[in-house]
Structure 1
Amino acid sequence: MTTEPVDTVLFDLDDTLVTYNRTTADLLDEAFDAVGVDPFFSAEAYFARYEEFLPITDSIEELREACFAAIAGDGGRDPAVGRDVARAFNARRDHGDVRLLPGAREVVDAFHDEYRLGIVTNGPPEVQRPKLAGAGLDDAFETVVFAGYDTDPKPDPAPFHRALSMLESESERAVHVGNSLASDVAGAHAAGLRSVWIPAYEEEETVEPHYRFGSLASLRNPPW
């Protein structure tokens, strides 16, 4: 691991800095009820296939329709039912209805005068910008890269390189903080950054982060 001093910190957004007030599981239950079908997949099944549809769709609404239809078809159901569930879900999702996770505001404020700060998030601008605004973070970062739209999605190194270029920094002097081993940690390593993993859910440990913490608040005293 490089010992260059850190001048740049990049953050993931979803389930690292913010989370929805209404969970995906809750909205899925409401969508199934609205369509009048028994639940036939879980929020975890949706998350597992989300990135598969990032490169081939132009909006989050289109992504959900394609994803839910594929899940339905793979399970022997009519893909049209999956699209109906997606439309019901889309009608209920408010992207600005989010809250900061514990420690997020304190860490961002503490880092503001010491580091160049950026966001690298897998998600479209029309979805992610309202989250930043709803959490009061829309002016907290010098750059935001919408991976999957501005570039290929994480774990591809391209979004990290784009953020560093915009911040006039180099990978050897940067750290990325995220909740996903598969996209955040693996992507940071592919781009040559140091990684901080703050797990938000159970995940098979296929890659070893440079640093791991149980909560974002622990970053008030950076390990680097």
Structure 2
Amino acid sequence: MAPFDAVCFDLDGTLCQNTQDTHAMYEQAFDRAGEPLVGEPAALWAALSGPPDHDDPVGYFAAGFARVAAQHGRPDLDTLAVARALRSVIDDRAVGLRPGATDALDAASAIGPIGVITNGPKARQQTKLDALGIVDRFETAVYAAELARSKPHAEPFEQAVSDLDVAAERTLYVGNSLAYDVAGAQNAGLPVAWLCGDDERGDYDPEYVIDSLAELPAVLRGES
């Protein structure tokens, strides 16, 4: 007997990765805003506070740019203009499947229904799923930005298992974020396969740790 009846996946960083040239995107944002270049993408990502604010993405980026501007002595930087320009050059279709994703989806489909749970808004995330060619592979897609609470709250996970009509403890969740995927799934009673990358687990205790999606079929067969 397979150890699970259903599988749910995170999207960004788990099933897919961004393929857009971040340096070109960053420079283009400053060019469109008519501002001299300040810093680099890595500095902005480090300066952003918490997960994206899907209700105010421009404000979210502007706060990050304000921190980068302060680090470079540029209090005059029009952070809102650069933030608007950055959002305008982000291409939600510039995504690709991570290695092993197709085999992982095939293996998950072989044991039961599958779902995707993402914190992003429906319009953006559906665009990604369509670009990846996997939008029809899921029996449910939960866009947590449309709910009262996003990951790591239990609500998105509870919605998914309700949609799939499966028990939480028999639904494996696969995600790459300790703070949002592992914490959220376990809050809702789902076992987790953590796609670890280069991160250390710290105080978190996922049931399974995988280095790549290529290892997921063995987990689903109960061999790991």
Q: Same fold (TM over 0.5)?
A: yes
In the alignment, what sits opposite 1:45? 47
In the alignment, what sits opposite 2:62? 69
Following the alignment from structure 2 to structure 1, what is the Cα–Cα distance between the partners of residues 121 and 143?
A: 6
Aligned pairs (5 A) from 1:49-128: 49-51=50-52, 53-54=53-54, 57=55, 62-63=56-57, 65-74=58-67, 76=70, 81-128=78-125
In the alignment, what sits opposite 1:184? 181
Q: CA 1:151–1:26 in structure 2 vs 1: closer, same or farther (change >3 Å)?
A: farther
Alignment length, in residue pairs? Answer: 213
> What value does the CA root-mean-square deviation take over the aligned residues?
2.5
Aligned pairs (5 A) from 1:145-164: 145-164=142-161
CA contact (8 A) 2:47 2:65 kept: no
In the alignment, what sits opposite 1:20? 18
Once the two structures are overlaid, the 10-residue window that deviates more, 92-101 or 28-37, is: 28-37
Query: Residue type of the partner of 2:20?
Result: R
Q: What secondary structure does 2:51 align onto?
A: helix
Q: What secondary structure does 2:110 align onto?
A: coil
Query: Residue type of the partner of 1:190?
Result: N
Q: What secondary structure does 2:13 align onto?
A: coil
Structure 1 position 49, deviation (Å):
2.5
Q: What secondary structure does 1:222 align onto?
A: helix
Uncovered stretches (5+) of structure 2, i.e. residues with no partner: none
Partner deviation per Cα, 1:170-216 (whole Å, 9 max, x = no partner)? 21111110010010000011011101111245366231211111100
Once the two structures are overlaid, the 10-residue window that deviates more, 76-85 or 140-149, is: 76-85
Q: CA 1:37–1:187 in structure 2 vs 1: closer, same or farther (change >3 Å)?
A: same
Structure 1 position 145, deviation (Å):
0.5
CA contact (8 A) 1:68 1:79 kept: no
Runs of 4+ in 1 over 6 A off after TM superposition: none
Uncovered stretches (5+) of structure 1, i.e. residues with no partner: none
Following the alignment from structure 1 to structure 2, what is the Cα–Cα distance between the partners of residues 181 and 24?
A: 24
Once the two structures are overlaid, the 10-residue window that deviates more, 34-43 or 98-107, is: 34-43
CA contact (8 A) 1:148 1:154 kept: no
* Seq. identity, %: 36
CA contact (8 A) 1:103 1:215 kept: yes
In the alignment, what sits opposite 2:7? 9
Q: CA 1:114–1:205 in structure 2 vs 1: closer, same or farther (change >3 Å)?
A: same
Once the two structures are overlaid, the 10-residue window that deviates more, 11-20 or 81-90, is: 81-90
Following the alignment from structure 1 to structure 2, what is the Cα–Cα distance between the partners of residues 156 and 25?
A: 33
Q: CA 1:203–1:5 in structure 2 vs 1: closer, same or farther (change >3 Å)?
A: closer
CA contact (8 A) 1:181 1:203 kept: no
Structure 1 position 153, deviation (Å):
1.1
Query: Residue type of the partner of 1:89?
Result: L
Following the alignment from structure 2 to structure 1, what is the Cα–Cα distance between the partners of residues 211 and 117?
A: 21
Larger Rg: 2
Aligned pairs (5 A) from 1:192-203: 192-202=189-199
CA contact (8 A) 2:122 2:145 kept: no
In the alignment, what sits opposite 1:207? 204
